[in-house]
A and B are shown apart, each in its own frame.
Chain A
Amino acid sequence: MVELSEKLVKGEGRFVDDIQMPGMLYLGFARSQYARARILRISGAQLTHKEVNFDIAEVGEGATEGGSELLKHPVLAKDYAGYVGQPVAAVYSDDRYVAEDLIDSVDIEYEPMKAIVDPEDSISREEMYPGVKSNAIVDRYFGDDFTPDSTDIVIERKMVNRRIATNPIEPRGVVAAYDGNKLTVWVSTQSAHAIKEGLSEALKMEPDRIRVVQVDTGGAFGLKGGLFPEYVVACYLAMKEKRPVKWIETRREHLLASRPGRGAVAKLKLFAKKDGTITGLKGEVIVDNGAFTGGSGEFSPIFIVKQLAGAYHLPNAYVRALSVLTNKAPQGPYRGAGRPEAMYFIERLMDGLADKLKMDPVELRLRNAATETYTSPLGFQVEKSRPFLESAIRELNYEKYKGKENVGFALLILYHATFGGESARIKVEDGKVRVWTGGNAHGQRHDVFIKTLLNEELGVSEDHVEVMKGDTDMLAEGVGAWGSRSSMVLSSAVIVAARKIREQIEKKQGKYTVQALLAGKWDHYEYFNYDRMESSLGANLVTADVDDYGRVKVKDCLSYYDLGRVLDPDNARGQNAGGAVQGIGQVLSEELSFDEDGLPLITSISDAGVLSADLVPRFDIKFHKSESPLPSKAKGVGEAPTIGVPIALSRAIELATGKTILETPIKPEYLLPVEKE
């Protein structure tokens, strides 16, 4: 069996930039040099908003508070540029080099304005757009106000997860072609269907006239679930010129103008009794939305706040969720997408509380772990977590590390994006079983578990199965691969579809056999509906040392995650290591920083802080197996390490240095030990 991953590491993948077509045009973008400016004049461009006058998205539900048409991201800037890197005008040529030359020949005259950079300042600044009521595009309270007991202990903290680029190895990219009626789009994506829907909305085109095909996708991490201005312009140009059009993002463009993740500030107060029992939570969470909607800023603060009970019993809570306009690219989902932020905030409060009470932090967690499943005052259901935590402490050997190493511990809930379900189609023809699914691998190994499941359900060997990539013409509907959902809903869709195929055969031939399956022609499309959000528990233990220069050495990084049924242990290990490396990067070095004029300071991959191999610790993952209610019995894992590792590592560094860690990334300067004279 040739796995997709094997093909990819051997260089046999076919990525979007590998697509060559006769007559292809190469598209390039002239981008804003200013974080906030009026655009007075554009010359030397082939396409501007005057001709390509589309917006990227409807103003979302959450945006109603500040609702204005101006919040929509125009695919090419109108008379206003809201962030450095925003596409202002487009150029193209049949020669890629010339297309780049043409970018330099576009002349844009600006009238710069004072940028809004710091999310904490945004609300008190003048409105970014005329007509918006405030710079808060989301401003809502969750829970009910309460009066804390006057004898309660309070721990108050401001915590920050600064913005980071998603930085998949393969940046964004698209090829569009038009035959006079139908637009075909090949794209590096997490969801062919989401791209199709977005294009249909943006271009105001009937969905039947758009086909979106996912090509091999070299990493995505949340970024590639969405539609981007550049894709819309590529499609427009393909239709206008009736020629194939390619746009491939450069790394610099990625760092400036893709949708970075994190970017959240929390100011929270946690109340507790003297014995450590937590009694309530108050405060606010502010998400750095960027200059337009269309990313995840309308959703992100709400999602974060709803999770703030962590895995604990939290009787009272009253928290404000804010998303504010800043002169930066729209904030977007990045592996975990709100989950790592929420758990970081509550878990770092727990560590702070433990220190204040001079209690062991794990002991404090045990005291507060939910003993029954309940709905938190902030909105989400919190699983009964105490038994899991007890076994996590054992399995991760906490007692062995405690007191001897700088050891951090995290307890987390991973809320899976199972809602919406997923689709699958199985088509048998000429002895081949082909499978399409709504979500597809973008660095994971969906093909492995799909083959395992088909083998179980239909007895068919892997050699007969071919796992196809996303294709909207082959699959009526679909959702996408994100939010730790595929092992749950995608696998379940495959299982149900396989069972329906079996039924077809039984109905027609009385009895199911593999021979009958492979000899016949069968086809079944299944939309596996699921409207609940599932969750699973996890724990991480991380040890670290810090040297005389303040350099962090992460030593052990242990995970204990509830995977329910483990569909593919190797893949789970891979997910764990990869996610942990991203989590470590978030703590030690990854950041998209800006100066006070909103000019990005990080414009090259060499400064983006992506972790290098020498900083990778020893990993171990243990599985807790409490089955999910889904047909696949599995639970998702993809985001768990990006949630738990930053928390546990921050704590380990805190113990190594004696310095309180409340921000990611930690500035190396902050960790430099003071020398004794």
Chain B
Amino acid sequence: MNPPTFEYFAPTGIDEVIDILAKYPGEAKILAGGQSILPLLKSRISSIPYLVSLSEIKGMSYVVEGKDGVKIGSMTIDSDLENSDLIEKRFPILHDATKQLADPLVRNVGTIGGNLSHADPANDLPAVMISLGARFTIRGKKGSREVEARDFFMDTFTTALEPDEILTEVYIPFWGRNSGGAYVKFKKNTWNFSVAAVAVQLELDGNTCKKAQIATTAVSPKSGRVESAEKHLVGKPLTDDVIKKAAEEVAASAEPVTDSYGSEEYKREILKRITREAIKKAISRAGGN
């Protein structure tokens, strides 16, 4: 379990990172927490000639409250998100996810930027960011740009990032007063990825659903919004029947694959049940009943 040879860079500034990425397009990759990229190298699934570590760059790890939302530096580790009171209070859905993500050892080094940029459909944070409507700040040779979370994940392990670009910041807008969300994860085992997981973020008007954003983990080639299911909720009173229909739609629109953890049908069934659970939890957090 030793990686193939690579050249290692540890620049102190983001511009230098971009320069190195641009110099070796496609051959240079960022090394953040290393919890996805190092296993790939060590098991020799990938070979990456140039690794650019972000560890020497100061000021990329922060969770800051602004007027309309929260800014998170891309090198912020999962544990810092998990232990942030601000996150727990304002975005319980993200708290749900970070406290169940991998194990404490991985969370102590894995970063939000890496979790999102890796675009593994089994990673927990893409679905959470999509359902929260987060925006990502990206920098590259051509300057800085912003991308909506929902447009960032293109395919399995593929994002909107160009080879010379780096994800620097995640911005999560505050939701209205009567809003709430939940992330329910059906884990393979306690320290691992999901068989299926779902992120549900809602805004209510009384008992009626005003806004709904739902995204899934591990049951499709990429995490994305399940708009067909959201439609079942928006504008309706959230009765058991409405919740059930939405959950069925989430399950029906997923594309799980059979593996040693279970068949496609089983995974759909699990997804249906956890979606109901997540919607109910989101409603109660939004102050509904």
Complex Cα gap A612–B103 (Å): 11
* Chain-B contact segment, one of A408-416, A492-500, A667-675: A667-675
Q: Is A6 an interface residue (CB 8 A)?
A: no
A100 touches B44 (CB 8 A): yes
Overall SS of chain B's interface = loop
- Partner of B5 from the list A97, A251, A589, A606 (CB cut-off 8 Å) is A97
The minimal Cβ–Cβ distance linking B235 to chain A, given in whole angstroms, is 26
A101/B260 contact (C-beta < 8 A), A612-B189, A612-B191 known: no
What is the 8 Å Cβ interface bit string for chain A, positions 589-616, against chain B (1 contact, 0 not)? 1010100000001101011010011110
Using CB atoms, name the residue of chain B closest to A675.
B273
CB within 8 Å of A: which B20-66 residues: 43-44
Complex Cα gap A215–B269 (Å): 50
A669 touches B190 (CB 8 A): no
Residues on the B chain within 8 Å of A250, using CB? 1
Residues on the A chain within 8 Å of B188, using CB? 606-607
Q: Is B261 an interface residue (CB 8 A)?
A: yes
Residues on the A chain within 8 Å of B69, using CB? none
Q: Is A549 an interface residue (CB 8 A)?
A: yes
CB within 8 Å of A: which B182-202 residues: 186, 188-193
Complex Cα gap A104–B41 (Å): 13
Residues on the A chain within 8 Å of B193, using CB? 606
Residues on the A chain within 8 Å of B259, using CB? 601
Complex Cα gap A675–B261 (Å): 20
Complex Cα gap A525–B158 (Å): 67
The minimal Cβ–Cβ distance linking B41 to chain A, given in whole angstroms, is 11
- Partner of B266 from the list A548, A589, A612, A672 (CB cut-off 8 Å) is A672
Q: Is B176 an interface residue (CB 8 A)?
A: no
Q: Is A38 an interface residue (CB 8 A)?
A: no
A252 touches B43 (CB 8 A): yes
The minimal Cβ–Cβ distance linking A644 to chain B, given in whole angstroms, is 24
Q: Is A96 an interface residue (CB 8 A)?
A: yes
A251/B1 contact (C-beta < 8 A), A591-B260, A612-B191, A669-B266 known: yes
Residues on the A chain within 8 Å of B4, using CB? 97, 100-101, 104
Residues on the B chain within 8 Å of A613, using CB? 190
B44 touches A104 (CB 8 A): yes
Complex Cα gap A667–B263 (Å): 10
CB within 8 Å of B: which A541-592 residues: 548-549, 589, 591
A669/B260 contact (C-beta < 8 A), A97-B2, A100-B2, A252-B43 known: no
Residues on the B chain within 8 Å of A612, using CB? 189-191
Complex Cα gap A621–B219 (Å): 43
Q: Is B147 an interface residue (CB 8 A)?
A: no
What is the 8 Å Cβ interface bit string for chain B, positions 244-263, against chain A (1 contact, 0 not)? 00000000000000011111
Q: Is B270 an interface residue (CB 8 A)?
A: yes
Residues on the B chain within 8 Å of A675, using CB? 273
Complex Cα gap A97–B41 (Å): 12
Residues on the A chain within 8 Å of B270, using CB? 549, 672
The minimal Cβ–Cβ distance linking B279 to chain A, given in whole angstroms, is 16
B186 touches A549 (CB 8 A): yes
What is the 8 Å Cβ interface bit string for chain B, positions 263-281, against chain A (1 contact, 0 not)? 1001001100100000000
Using CB atoms, name the residue of chain A closest to B273.
A549
Complex Cα gap A96–B3 (Å): 10
A residues with CB within 8 A of B: 96-97, 100-101, 104, 250-252, 548-549, 589, 591, 593, 601-602, 604, 606-607, 609, 612-615, 667-669, 672, 675
Pull 20 A–B residue pairs with CB atoms less than 8 Å apart, ordered by A: A97-B3, A100-B44, A101-B5, A252-B43, A549-B186, A591-B260, A593-B260, A601-B260, A602-B260, A604-B43, A606-B188, A607-B260, A609-B189, A614-B190, A615-B189, A615-B190, A669-B262, A669-B263, A672-B270, A675-B273
**For the complex of A and B, 7 pairs with smallest distance between CB atoms:** A669-B266, A614-B190, A612-B190, A669-B262, A97-B2, A601-B260, A250-B1
B residues with CB within 8 A of A: 1-5, 43-44, 186, 188-193, 259-263, 266, 269-270, 273
